[in-house]
Structure 1
């Protein structure tokens, strides 16, 4: 194997590592959403609206990197469950603003309190020295900075 083959193998290993961690975190987050009777997309949308009252469908789509149809269907479901409300924007009557209901606020709070992925990560990080965690975060930042040049 030459240097180039070694780098390709490293790249494969790093990408696979990120994928595996992402899958596991997604699985834990889906469990949290399911325990609240929501899909992962619905929970993300509910928490986003809770954090940004009055946000529009277009802004949610951009913020969560979800398709317009996924967001639209999820919002319909959340409205039907009584968790969010639609209101017409006073500035632009064509735009719909979204806000959570009191039931939605309570469920959003529960989703944060029950965040299995964060609890699991805290437990894992307690087993790793702080210097290693800071090093890892620095490496992640460098990787992201360099990957952004390809976007």
Structure 2
């Protein structure tokens, strides 16, 4: 009981030590019905036969069209499991964003802006059941 009270007092005094964390959940896939081909050559008809599965997840510098990839620090890495920590300290003139990339070559992405006070994101990844698919647990902190 005393340790818990001490921790609460410490957090009240030093908010950095007890920074708020939040999770991000990327959709596991983009349905084939969400994907449309346009501008196909004359006489050709497009068809999307399967969904695109989640392949990568990471914070980025600025909106997705800026292609602002960040280098993370690999904390753990094996064939089927990895943990990467991304520091978001420093200037981000166009904002801090998070991207979820789909397809084995990250052909399609869904992105959203992070709160400006986000300081770090840790991405834990595992191989999924489909070819090129990965699953992620993403925890960011302010």
Instruction: Quickly name the TM-score band, shorter chain normalised.
Output: under 0.3
Larger relative contact order, structure 1 or 2 (CA cutoff 8 Å, min sep 6): 2
Scaled by the length of structure 2, the TM-score of the pair is 0.24
Larger strand share, 1 or 2: 2
Scaled by the length of structure 1, the TM-score of the pair is 0.23
Larger helix share, 1 or 2: 1
